[in-house]
Amino acid sequence: MSDVAELRRRVEAYYVRYYRDTLAIPSWREIVAVRLADEAYEGRRLERLELVLGRKIRGSRLLNVGCGTGGFNALAHRAGAGVWGVDTSAEALAIGATRTPDARAILAQAEALPLPDSGFDVVYCYSTLEHVTSARGAVREMVRVLRPGGALYIHTPNRWACFEGHYKVFWVPGLPRPLAAAYLRARGRPTVFLRNLRPLSLRQCLALLEDAGARGVRVLGNAGDRPVGGPLWPLVRGYYRLFGIVPYVEVVASR
């Protein structure tokens, strides 16, 4: 088996376990197929990051907190950044190291980064903050390792949105845990993943950044008008507009 075919097999096995076995998503095959060709959507995320920064990442030291199997790292490395990736999954890091051998892979929790102060120009955290045990500790660590004048980018689901992006279902992730578990069981979905899901509101994220000493915090716009809930979308849109809710918290800050 060629190296490319072996890498594809490992990535496929990793995401089949996640989307089919852990989350029991009915359309898991389609989602895994997207993961196997992740350059397109990771490329859009890189474009978004550079747009937010107002510059290219070439020449930057970039830390990706929650790097997973390394799709974003590969593109950031190709774009000319020096890339470090942190994750709690040794398997994901091993896959990422195969994809981008020059990217540094670190097995660690976001709340305890084994990295020196002020070491990075960019800290990138996409869909990770909702999974850590202590969001406060993770944000403090990300600010700590950011150099003065550097940029911290965080993208995480809003707990008061009407769509849960991991399970891919219409619901409010901020519901009390017992209600969330009952809802998932009613839909025939496993509930074990709820232990790893702690979504935050925009207000909570801003408070964490302030507590960590971040400066120049900017709240960015995102797809608040993307329809969810089928025929309930007019009600959802009214709820979003009435309470000023966006589906995802997207912020950038400096130190």
pTM of the predicted protein model = 0.95
Q: What are residue 65's DSSP bridge partners?
A: 86
pLDDT at 223: 66
Residues 6+ positions from 49 with CB-CB distance below 8 Å: 57, 122, 124, 153
The candidate with the shortest Cα–Cα distance to 113, out of 76, 147, 140, is 140
pLDDT at 171: 93
pLDDT digits (tens, 9 = 90+) for 50-92: 999 999 999 999 999 999 999 999 999 999 999 999 999 999 9
Let me know if 101 is exposed, middle or buried by CB neighbors in 10 A (0-12, 13-18, 19+). exposed
Exposure pattern of 20-57 as b/e (b: 16+ CB <10 Å)? Answer: eebbebeebeebbeebeebeeebeebbebbbebbeeeb
Cβ neighbours of 206 (radius 10 Å): 17
pLDDT at 2: 75
Which residues in the chain come in under a pLDDT of 50?
none
Q: Which domains does the chain have, with CATH numbers?
A: 1-37 (no CATH), 48-254 (3.40.50.150)
